[in-house]
Amino acid sequence: MPSTHKNTKTALLDKIAQKNARIGVIGLGYVGLPLAVAFAEAGFHVTGIDLDPHKIRALKAGQNYIPDVSDVLLKQMRDSGYLQATSDFSALKKLDAVSICVPTPLRKTRDPDISYIVDVTARIKKFLHRGQVVILESTTYPGTTEELLLPELESTGLKVGRDIFLAFSPERIDPGNAKFGLKNTPKIIGGITADCNDVAVQLYGQIVHKVMAVSSSRSAEMVKLLENTFRAVNIGLVNEIALICDKLGINTWEVIEAAATKPFGFMPFYPGPGLGGHCIPIDPHYLSWKLRTMNYTTRFIELASEINHQMPEYVFQKIQHSLNLRKKSVKGAKVLLLGVAYKKNVSDVRESPAYDLAKLLEGSEASLSYSDPYVATWATDKNTYRSQKLSPALLKKADCVVVLTDHDKFDYAQVVRHARLIVDTRNATKKLSQKNVVRL
Ligand SMILES: NC(=O)c1ccc[n+]([C@@H]2O[C@H](COP(=O)([O-])OP(=O)(O)OC[C@H]3O[C@@H](n4cnc5c(N)ncnc54)[C@H](O)[C@@H]3O)[C@@H](O)[C@H]2O)c1
């Protein structure tokens, strides 16, 4: 190994070990902000970079906006100067390590939109310097780090693995999960070279209990897509089991609960009104897109997606049928949605199946309202709604109450006591009366 190369790497490893490395996190959302706070808490000086002026203003004022981040800790980090925030990318000049946590959504055509990564790479390039490590955390298709970031960064004349270091490390954050957070969820690293791996492992080892390196950035990118495809496909399977059980007149939830007593070879997944959030409905399509460019159809992903996408329609039919049995049409029926966030105990409404169901209900001229303790206002294409406080009067008024998100804050005993008809898509009322409850 040439000595300058060795020195560059050793110097960076030492800086990290001594917590003298200056860290940057680009994109301060659900993934980036907890990461920035974790590095600051570990004793690093961290600069968060985001283009959203509201976020920068909030952070400068010591205000938290991500539920999984502690308000107190964030303020402490801000007050002590360990956490700074800016929209100015020239801050990168002074930074030794940069983690990229920008969005990777889908276009309307279901093709990956990697424009945020492209934009950030171009900005990083301007301030790239010897001895810097760049790590991509945004979920993306296998090959992104090597095919997109590597040539861009090396076009500066700096060589990856010698002058600078580059790796992919998928974020595995599970918003609202009180048991597993950033620190106790093992972190996967896939560097472009072995030296890139060493640097990235050293860096994340400062904030995560267990770091595991794989042989390439492609493998690390694929790890993330396997994890989320695994969930999407298993949810697709269990959603189909729910449709099958419905036809056979069997209680799906009882079947899953009983199957889950098997101590090996079975892992329970649960049906629901459809996929939501920024990961499970989106990430597998990054993989299918990549494979389409290679003339290969990812059959499991396509099938699971088809079934999962049908679920809001299926819930709508349940509502329609249940109202019909009560001599009511959907048109004009008062339908109260409980929970519009995509999953329990979070405020995130991105990709929530509540949108698809609301579209069907609005299209049939139901009179829609919702209650969600985490979401104060919520807009569909047609209307903007304000969350209603759950009360006996509100429940009594509704022709149909639909449990879409099983937030712990809802008083399900109250719901069952006062609602005339409940369509429960989450089995949230399982321990309560069966009367007037229609389940998936
Ligand atoms: N939310 C999750 O649970 C989760 C979990 C694992 C992985 N991921 C992945 O992590 C990535 C980020 O997701 P997120 O949920 O944190 O997104 P987010 O929308 O909450 O945050 C992204 C942030 O990036 C900022 N941003 C956009 N373009 C920028 C630019 N050019 N320069 C600087 N900042 C910019 C946005 O203003 C926003 O604050 C995505 O690839 C996502 O798939 C998300």
Residue 283 backbone phi and psi in degrees, to 5 = -55, -45
- 135: tokens are 């790590």
Left, alpha or beta for 339 (phi > 0: left; psi -120 to 50: alpha)?
A: left
Query: Angle between the 283-292 and 299-325 helix axes, to the nearest 10 degrees?
Result: 130
Left, alpha or beta for 24 (phi > 0: left; psi -120 to 50: alpha)?
A: beta
- 125: tokens are 């390039």
Mutate to test the pocket of ligand 1, among 118, 127, 278 (most ligand atoms within 8 A of CB): 278
- Per-residue pLDDT for the chain (440 aa), expressed as one digit of tens each? 555 666 999 999 999 999 999 999 999 999 999 999 999 999 999 999 999 999 999 999 999 999 889 999 999 999 999 999 999 999 999 999 999 999 999 987 889 999 999 999 999 999 999 999 999 999 999 999 999 999 999 999 999 999 999 999 999 988 888 899 999 999 999 999 999 999 999 999 999 999 999 999 999 999 999 999 999 999 999 999 999 999 999 999 999 999 999 999 999 999 999 999 888 999 999 999 999 999 999 999 999 999 999 999 999 999 999 999 999 999 999 999 999 999 999 999 999 999 999 999 999 999 999 999 999 999 999 999 999 999 999 999 999 999 999 999 999 999 999 999 999 999 999 988 778 999 98
Ligand 1 center to residue 34 CA distance, Å?
12
CA-to-CA separations, 183 to 36, 37, 283, in angstroms, rounded = 13, 12, 23
Which DSSP string do the residues of 342-375 spell out, in sequence order? SSTT----TT-HHHHHHHHHHHTT-EEEEE-TT-
Cβ contact 304:250 at 8 Å: no
Q: How many CA atoms lie within 13 A of 262 on its CB side?
A: 9
Residue 274 confidence (pLDDT): 96
Ligand 1 binding pocket (C-beta < 6 A) is 26-32, 49-52, 55, 101-104, 116, 119-120, 138-139, 171, 173, 175, 278-279
For the CA of 31, the closest atom of ligand 1 is 16
400 is catalytic: no
Provide the 10 A C-beta neighbour count for residue 69. Answer: 17
Beta bridge partners of 416: none
Q: Per the residue annotation, which of 101, 196, 245, 279 is the catalytic one?
A: 279
Ligand 1 center to residue 122 CA distance, Å?
17
Q: Reduced to 3 DSSP states, what percent helix, strand and coil does the chain have, rounded to the nearest 5?
A: 40, 15, 45
Ligand 1 center to residue 370 CA distance, Å?
27
Residue 379 confidence (pLDDT): 97
Q: How far apart are CA 41 and CA 62, in angstroms?
A: 14
Ligand 1 center to residue 264 CA distance, Å?
36
Mutate to test the pocket of ligand 1, among 56, 101, 174 (most ligand atoms within 8 A of CB): 101
